[in-house]
């Protein structure tokens, strides 16, 4: 499946030993599916608006559609049992 | 002829000296001033925690080597067989109250272990907690916006990750707790990534995932 990979930048404010506020940047690598909602997320979060498309060669996992529907849980469980979890680290 | 002790300067009359109540009382006053525990005075300033090896209190400032934070105070317990334990306190402004433990096992210093890590974003801490005998580490990972009825993977950046003991998902924008939220239907923590699946649009929630884990 195709992913959008990008770097997220956040800035945290910390206090140094003299009591002064100091800003520190934290960069985190993120990935979302290459679909409409994923693209919207990537465009909001990507540092400098830059993201790349990456294909991990894995099949598309099951995505839940509604909250509270027991069928969703069954689908997720089936996907998990089918090795969905192993795909987490192949991104 | 009378002499004095090395540490407290107590008077030691010679065996041939006559009993001197005044000298005895001076000794008692010096001992009493220490609170009766053999300790007293100010902490000794050190510039390398690896050299603070005598039983007692010490303190350090920003140029000190092997210190987990810039300014602090500590206690060393020195065992007879070359093993040391240090208990370190951070009393300084901005991040009061952190407590750290260090051990020297006779060969090397074990990495510092935090009793109450400050949980700065993206920083890994080894803690005093254990899981099945292994040291437990913790790290707050920026997850960013949660996905919209979908899934999202974030690299946690942990080297030699072994097993997640527990996790928490904190909402950066509000007080809403996200772990256990029915919209967060699945959380997977792998050796490289945290993946969260949602069943509704959660893209207005910015999350920080806190992991507690062991290492290889």
Q: pLDDT digit string (tens) for B18-63?
A: 888 998 898 888 777 655 554 666 788 999 999 998 888 899 988 8
Residues 137-196 of B with CB under 8 A from A: 141-145, 147-155, 157, 182-183, 185-186, 188, 190-193, 195
ipTM for this prediction: 0.71
Q: Please choose, from the candidates B56, B84, B93, B185, the residue with its C-alpha nearest in 3D space to the C-alpha of residue A67.
A: B185
Give the mean pLDDT of B163-175.
86
Of the candidates A3, A17, A41, the beta carbon closest to that of B62 is on A17
pLDDT of residue B166: 94
Residue from B124, B142, B207 whose CB has the most chain A CBs within 10 Å, to mutate: B142
3-state secondary structure B12-44: ECCCCCCCCHHHHHHHHHHHHCCCCCCCCCCCE
Confidence of residue A66 (pLDDT cuts 50, 70, 90): low
pLDDT tens digits along B89-130: 988 655 668 999 999 998 999 999 999 998 999 999 999 999
Residue from B197, B198, B203 whose CB has the most chain A CBs within 10 Å, to mutate: B197
pLDDT of residue A67: 52
Residue A88 C-alpha, separation from nearest chain B C-alpha, in angstroms: 6
Whether B136 has a pLDDT exceeding 90, the answer reads: yes
Whether B173 has a pLDDT exceeding 90, the answer reads: no
Interchain contact, B195 vs A68, CB within 8 Å:
no
pLDDT of residue B91: 82
Does residue B2 contact residue B11 with C-beta atoms inside 8 Å?
yes
Confidence of residue A89 (pLDDT cuts 50, 70, 90): low
Give the mean pLDDT of B187-204.
93
């Amino acid at each position: 499946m195709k992913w959008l990979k990008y770097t997220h930048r956040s800035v945290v404010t910390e206090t140094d030993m003299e009591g002064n506020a100091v800003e520190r940047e934290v960069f985190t690598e993120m990935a979302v599916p290459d679909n409409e909602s994923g693209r919207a997320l990537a465009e909001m979060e990507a540092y400098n608006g830059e993201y790349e498309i990456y294909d991990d060669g894995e099949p598309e996992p099951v995505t839940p559609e509604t909250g509270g529907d027991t069928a969703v849980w069954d689908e997720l469980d089936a996907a998990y049992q089918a090795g969905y979890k192993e795909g987490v680290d192949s991104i | 002829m009378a002499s004095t002790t090395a540490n407290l300067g107590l008077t030691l009359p010679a065996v041939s000296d006559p009993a001197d109540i005044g000298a005895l009382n001076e000794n008692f006053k010096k001992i009493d001033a220490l609170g009766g525990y053999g300790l007293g005075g100010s902490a000794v300033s050190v510039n390398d925690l690896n050299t603070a090896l005598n039983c007692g209190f010490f303190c350090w400032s920003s140029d000190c080597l092997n210190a987990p934070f810039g300014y602090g105070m500590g206690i060393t317990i020195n065992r007879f067989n070359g093993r040391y334990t240090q208990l370190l306190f951070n009393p300084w402004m901005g991040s009061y109250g952190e407590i750290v433990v260090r051990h020297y096992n006779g060969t090397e210093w074990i990495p510092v272990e935090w009793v109450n890590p400050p949980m700065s974003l993206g920083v890994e801490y080894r803690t005093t907690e254990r899981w099945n005998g292994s040291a437990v580490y913790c790290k707050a990972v920026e997850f960013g916006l949660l996905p919209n009825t979908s899934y999202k993977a974030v690299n946690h950046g942990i080297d030699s990750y072994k097993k997640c003991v527990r996790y928490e998902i904190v909402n950066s924008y509000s007080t809403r707790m996200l772990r256990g939220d029915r919209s967060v239907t699945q959380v997977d923590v792998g050796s490289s990534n945290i993946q969260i699946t949602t069943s509704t649009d959660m893209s207005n929630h910015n999350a920080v995932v806190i992991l507690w884990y062991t290492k290889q």
